[in-house]
Structures are given as C-alpha cells and as structure tokens.
Amino acid sequence: MSNPLTRRDFAIRTAGFGLAGFHLAGFNRAMGLAPATLAEAGQASHSEPSPVADPDSLDPYSLVDPELRPALKQFPAFELTAEMVCQFRQMPGMPPLPAPAPQPVERHIPGPPGAPEVRLWVVDPAPSEKGKPCLLHMHGGGFMMTNPMLMPQIQGIATDCHCVVVSVDYRLAPETRYPGSLEDNYAALKWVHAHAAELGIDRSRIAVGGESAGGTHAANLAIHARDRNKRDRSGEDVPICFQLLIYPALDDRTGSSHPAPPAVGHFMWTPSANRFAWSSLLVVPAGSSQVPAAAVPARVASVAGLPPAWIGVGSIDLFAEEDMEYARRLVHAGVATELLVAPGAFHGFDLLVPDAEVSKQFSASWKSALRKAFATGRAV
C-alpha cells in the first residue's frame, strides 16, 4: 500500500519514532515522573555512548540500500524535546482510506481490573462473512506515542490478508508503566476471543502482531498468554496461532549494558533512544538489574510453547542482533520461525520508502507469512 504522505510530512509526523538526542529531563518533567525515577532514567539514558568503529573507517550511509539513501538523507535531524513529544501526541493521525476500503469502527471494552476502558479499532473486510481470521494489532511509537499512519495501515492489512484487524489503543508510557499496557493488550485478546462469534472470527485463528514497539507488545502478549494459559486452568484459554513481529524491540539492554555493534543503530532509532524508551516503560534504568525479566522478551527464561513467528528487521537496524537472537531461541525451542533480515535497511525503512524494492519484498514477506498462518495454522 502506497504511503500518501510526502517525505517531509512523514518526517515531521513520525519524529517520535526514533530520532536521536531525546531530552529526557524535560520529557519526564512534562510527564510527571517522580524525581527518584527521573534520576534513574536520566542515568540510564545519558550513560556513555556505545563504542563505535574508527569514524574514518565507517561511513554509515555507505551501508544503506541505495534506494533508501536519498530519502534518509532528506530526513531532518533534530533533537526531540518534551514539547515536541507533546505536540506529536496532539497531532491528528492520517484519516482512514475512503470506501471501498473497509472502515475502522471504534469500540470500547472493559479494561483490566481497576483500569480505564480500552479503546479498540476494528476493521472488517467482509462483515457478512463468518469464521474469518483475526490479527490483534499493537501499534508502534516507542512505547510513548501512537502511529499517525495507523488507520491506513490496519485497513491495508485487513484488505491484503483478508482478516479482521483489531488494533489496541493501549495506555502509553511513562504515565502508564509496565505492566499497564500489557494488561490492556491482554484484556483486548480475551475480549476478541470471547466475542469471536459477534466479530465473525474463528477463535482458533487469532494472531498477534505489530511493528517496532508494537512488535515488543505482541511478543510480550504471546509470552503472557502462554503463561496465563498454563497457570489458570480454572478459566478458558486464549490461544494465539501466530506472532507477527516487525522489527520489534526485544531487549532493553541493547545500547546500554549491551553496546550496539558499530554498523547498526545510526538512523531513526539509536542506542540513546532505546535507553530512553525502555526506561520510560519500565520506570527503572534500561539494562539494569532492576528490570523485571517478565517485561522484556529477551530476558524471559524460556520461549518454548510460544506460537509460530515471523520476525523481520533491517540489517542496520539497532534491533538486528536481538531479533536474530530471539529467532534463534525460538528455533532451538521448537517454535516454527521465519526470519528475514533486509540488507541495507534501517528502522522503519518500509514506511519511509515504501516503493523501494527492499521495502516491497519485506512487506510481501510478512503478509505472505500471515496469510499462510491463517490458512494452515490453528492455535493449540
């Protein structure tokens, strides 16, 4: 699906997805974090930068796919301040694609105990058809923001993969710390499962997925659902048939206690951005011993019993190494897993330059994998 935004508009409207140089102190003041938390997060986010190769021997742009390079060089480089984050949150998202594209319907469902209702966006490509598969979708945005491309994006998935898409408007960090967003997503999963007949959904074909931070949430949700299904034998399981993880953030230690390799993380999402985002979600310093293992997919002791997965990432994305490692762990645990590493691609490349060959191949791969999972997979 073509991106209707100009490059300049896209750059402005997606500034929150991963530019370097976050102004952590100002952001935390604006969002009301406690002083102790601010000190810890500041220490994590302003730690020494990851070592890089001799600058004379490494030109980061030389590693970028030639089709992606011109647009990347036009992307404005600036420091994201607290004011910019607030402005980004207030920006209206892209409007839905007009009919005949399926239209998003807003729903509100009960939230976790003691929490507000959860807003969902439901896109159904064939309302009169029963037994359709479903993708429970979680948007990206560094845990702190929404995706301005959300409406056209979920409409495109529903059309291209002929599935109901339910996108969760989970609560954002840092106002809501872990596990608040996870609980919202799990509430949405339970609701979709319980209301499958009303939604025209085959409850044995419910997948979870998302891009960037949305992929993080999807991976965490798959783990949480597995563990809840094991523990809570008094209630009904909520099985998941597939997890679609599009350049997900899977390890809070990347860029902090795990220095980034020299060739990755120069564009769109950097080590400092990663430390800041994870610290905002966890409200403890990213990469520290204070991080609860259950909050981070890479820290979870076992990945056995998780749903089949598709994981895709660019070769120069900051998340390349952690995504490859997670795929390795899944394979070793007997989980059917497809891994795609797009050469010369940075974080969010397919959104910035959707018509590049590497972007088209990347999008075709995950859509094919999702369609195949729906056609052949059944949750167990």
Q: What per-residue confidence (pLDDT) applies to 83?
A: 66
pLDDT by residue (tens digit) across 281-325? 999 999 999 999 999 999 999 999 999 999 999 999 999 999 999
Query: Omega into 100 within 30° of 0, i.e. cis?
Result: yes
Residue 373 CA to residue 217 CA, distance in Å, equals: 20
Joined together, the tokens standing for residue 267 give 């564009």
- Span 86-99, average pLDDT: 88
Residue 334's Cβ-count burial label (10 Å; 0-12, 13-18, 19+) is: exposed
41 compared with 195, residue with greater pLDDT: 195
CA separation for the pair 224, 174 (Å, rounded): 21
For residue range 233-284, list pLDDT tens digits in order. Answer: 655 789 999 999 999 999 999 999 999 999 999 998 888 889 889 999 999 9
The answer to whether residue 8 scores a pLDDT higher than 80 is no
d(CA 1, CA 176): 33
**In the chain, % of residues over pLDDT 70:** 81
Q: Mean pLDDT for the chain?
A: 86
Strands 201-211, 164-169: parallel, antiparallel or unpaired by DSSP?
A: unpaired
